Each structure stands twice: as C-alpha cells, then as structure tokens.
C-alpha cells in the first residue's frame, strides 16, 4: 500500500544517490512525515509503513530515527549552501547576485517545502554533535548572504542601517516560505521567487530617483 509520492524535480534532490532502494524509500517517507507531523510526533512504525516495510527493516539502513533526520538535515543544508554560493559567485552586480540568491533560495523553500520544513524547523531534535555540525553550515550560509549585501553597500547600490539585521531579515523572509507555502495553491515557486527577489531589492536599495 502507499502509492509512490511524486515530487517536482525541477531542482535536484540528492536522494537519487541513496542506495539501496529501501533506504531511499525510507528517507523520502521521513521527509514527508517529519514535515507533516514533526519529528517527535512521527513513529518509526509510521516511517516503515509509508516506505512499505516492517518496523524492524528501518534499522538495517539507519542506526536510529535521529540518524534519518540528520541525513535529511545535512543534505538539505549542504544543498542550500551550494545554491547560495553559486548565486554569490555568479556574474553581475551585487544587486543581480542578491536577486539571484533570493530567487533560488526562496524557490527551493517553496518547491521543496516539505524538506525545507524539516531542514528549518526540526533542528532542535538533532543529537548534540549533529546539531553543532548543522549550526556551522547555517553560519556559512548566513555569511554568504551577508557578503553579497556588504558588496552592494560598498558599491552604493544598497543602503542598510544595520548589515547583520538586514541579512537576518532577508534570510528570514525566504526561510518562512517553507511554513506558509502549500496552504496557498495560487502561486508557483517561480512566482514567489520573483516576488521575493523584487521585495528584497526594494528593501535594501537606496530610495533615490534612479530606480531600475
């Protein structure tokens, strides 16, 4: 029972390289279940059931339930970091690159909002050393975005009274997409990405007459 879940594949999800097949089915089941009910409300029996196997089979592929969460969290954070680094090291002005970063970051949170929910809201359930590793990744993503904004300030394209505050606000705006996206069916991930890129530029650009 439990038909195959169809997830949109516009951006790559790294589960293709997870083997054997049962392990992949488990990790996909875990993303859906953790996103829907939360890590602590999900039982190993739920996961095994959704992946089409007995509860005991889970422990052939993963040592603990927490390791499954860690795999998801780690893969998600690394993927997001790469996304932002690509945007940051791309061509164009800081304005262009911040827009690209926000577009990609937002779009990922919308398109993969189930995985994004696990990545962003289930950190607290990680074991201590796993948690520390993830926090380090998050600091790095923060630094990437702050770097682009700083460059924009240097060129005079951005005017921000508080660099750290603006960085937090920009990332916060994008991250929270994972929370509300899905309840509303009207907008596509691409549209939200465009809208947010525009809003963020409006937020940070100096409010002079030389608009676009």
Side-chain half-sphere of 46: how many Cα atoms within 13 Å? 16
The structure tokens listed for 139 are 């600091």
Q: Contact 188/113 with Cβ under 8 angstroms? A: no
Q: Which helix (H) or strand (E) holds 162?
A: none
Size of the site for its own copies (CB under 8 A): 39
CA–CA distance, 70 with 123 (Å, rounded to integer): 9
Q: Contact 196/107 with Cβ under 8 angstroms? A: no
The structure tokens listed for 121 are 């809201």
- For DNA, the binding residue among 24, 66, 74, 153 (CB under 7 A) is 66
- Strand-pair partners of 158: 205
- For DNA, the binding residue among 22, 169, 175, 199 (CB under 7 A) is 22
CA–CA distance, 157 with 162 (Å, rounded to integer): 15
Does residue 124 touch its own copies according to CB under 8 A?
yes
CB of 180 to its own copies, least distance (A): 6
Question: What are the distances in angstroms from CA 182 to CA 28, 42, 200, 204?
Answer: 18, 20, 22, 28
- For its own copies, the binding residue among 63, 128, 185, 186 (CB under 8 A) is 186
- For its own copies, the binding residue among 22, 53, 81, 168 (CB under 8 A) is 168
Does residue 1 touch its own copies according to CB under 8 A?
no
- For DNA, the binding residue among 2, 14, 55, 90 (CB under 7 A) is 55
Q: Which does 186 bind (CB under 5 to 8 A by kind): DNA, its own copies, none?
A: its own copies
- For its own copies, the binding residue among 53, 81, 137, 175 (CB under 8 A) is 175
Touching its own copies, residues 187-206 (CB under 8 A): 187, 192, 195-196, 198-199, 202-205
Q: Which helix (H) or strand (E) holds 40?
A: none
- Residues near its own copies (CB under 8 A): 36-38, 40-41, 120-121, 124-125, 161-162, 164-166, 168-169, 172-173, 175-177, 179-180, 184, 186-187, 192, 195-196, 198-199, 202-205, 207-209, 211
């Amino acid at each position: 029972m439990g038909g195959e879940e169809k997830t949109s594949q516009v951006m790559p999800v790294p589960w293709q390289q997870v083997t054997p097949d049962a392990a992949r089915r488990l990790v996909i089941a875990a993303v859906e279940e953790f996103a829907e009910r939360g890590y602590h409300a999900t039982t190993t029996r739920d996961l095994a059931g959704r992946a089409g196997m007995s509860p005991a089979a889970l422990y052939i592929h993963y040592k603990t339930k927490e390791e499954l969460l860690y795999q998801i969290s780690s893969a998600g954070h690394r993927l997001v970091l790469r996304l932002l680094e690509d945007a940051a090291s791309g061509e164009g002005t800081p304005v262009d690159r911040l827009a690209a970063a926000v577009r990609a970051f937002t779009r990922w949170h919308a398109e993969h909002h189930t995985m994004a929910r696990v990545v962003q809201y289930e950190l607290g359930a990680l074991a201590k050393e796993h948690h520390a590793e993830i926090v380090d990744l998050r600091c790095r993503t923060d630094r990437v975005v702050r770097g682009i904004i700083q460059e924009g300030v240097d060129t005079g394209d951005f005017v921000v009274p508080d660099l750290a505050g603006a960085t937090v606000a920009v990332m916060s705006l994008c991250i929270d997409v994972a929370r509300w996206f899905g309840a509303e069916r009207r907008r596509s991930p691409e549209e939200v990405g465009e809208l947010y890129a525009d809003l963020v530029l409006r937020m940070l650009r100096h409010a002079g007459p030389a608009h676009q």
